[in-house]
Amino acid sequence: MTDSVSLPSQVRQLLETAPRETLPLTYQQLAEALGLQPPRTIQRVAQALEGVMREDAQHNRPFIAALVVSRRGEGLPAQGFFDLAVELGRFPADPAQHAEVWRQEIERALAAKA
């Protein structure tokens, strides 16, 4: 069903059409929804999300990838999300601010879906 070229577009479509009450999704839930099979399912999801984030930054859209979180930690995205958001100039470098800025980004992404 998926290949590396179309995976970011499939991720975007899935997140844009997911019912609000099902969000956020975990990386594992997203992998399953995409029908990905091992090996490296989470790594492929993460790479696709990075591609989506780069597109969103380029087009000045909210990060729809903010709607995907890790099962570990505090229900936040993986560190790679924050690292890339900082690299793309959308999040402050101070990690102490990341959770709050991420929550704002979720609201922006949800509002853009409506």
What is the mean predicted confidence (pLDDT) over 91-108?
A: 97
- pLDDT tens for 34-65 read 999 999 999 999 999 999 999 999 999 999 99
Q: What residues contact residue 68 under an 8 Å CB cut-off, 6+ apart?
A: 15, 24, 25, 26, 27, 30, 45, 49, 77, 81
pLDDT at 100 over 80: yes
pTM: 0.92
**Higher local confidence (pLDDT), 4 or 96:** 96
